[in-house]
Amino acid sequence: MLTLLSSQQAGTLGEMLTVARLNSLGHAAYTSPEGAPGHDVIVVIRGEAKSVEVKTRQFRSSPTKEITRWPVQMNAKGDADFFIFIELDLKTLAPTFYVLTNAQARETHKDYTGSGNCVPSHVRRLITPNDFSALNAHHDTPVIASVL
């Protein structure tokens, strides 16, 4: 029977898989220094550094039955530009990525005192698996001042 990775092992593997996938898509991506507050990965999009919080959950047979939450403390991690939630199949070590903007992550988040979870069923309804287009579509809308 497959053994679950420790939480730290799964998290580190998820961050490495994220960096590898982002780089394979043509983005410059780097792991953040250990213990960096608020994010795990930095990705450069159109010359601008964006922060990414990565959350990895593992399963042995069924992600929809075994993955019941992605723990996220929005008070500590809520400033990240993007959240990438990973379902890690332990049989193949194949990841399924869910890329969310900050607003989408907040939409899927259930807040508890001092903690909270992003709910996988909500994430799966909202986001197409392995679709990284949110990174390319993400940009700040310019503010146009009107002349009076």
What is the percent of the chain where pLDDT is above 70? 89
pLDDT band of residue 146 (cuts 50, 70, 90) is very low
Q: What value does the mean pLDDT take over residues 45-51?
A: 93
Token match 């730290």: residue?
A: 8
As beta bridge partners, residue 109 has 118
* Cα distance between residue 99 and residue 88, in whole Å: 14
83-to-1, 2, 55, 135 alpha-carbon distances in Å: 31, 27, 8, 10
Mean pLDDT of the chain: 86
DSSP state, 141? P
pLDDT band of residue 76 (cuts 50, 70, 90) is low
Q: What are phi and psi of 21, to 5 degrees?
A: -65, -45
pTM strictly above 0.75: yes
Q: Per-residue pLDDT for 24 more than 80? A: yes
143-to-136, 140, 146 alpha-carbon distances in Å: 20, 9, 10
Yes or no: say if 18 and 97 are a contact pair by the CB < 8 Å rule. yes
- Provide the H-helix boundaries in the chain: 7-24, 63-66, 74-77, 102-108, 120-126, 133-137
pLDDT band of residue 22 (cuts 50, 70, 90) is very high
Q: Per-residue pLDDT for 65 more than 90? A: yes
Domains in the chain, CATH or no CATH each: 7-137 (3.40.1350.10)
Q: At 20, which amino acid appears? A: A
pLDDT of residue 79: 84
pLDDT of residue 114: 60
80-138 pLDDT per residue, tens: 899 999 999 999 989 999 999 999 998 888 887 667 888 999 999 999 999 999 998 75
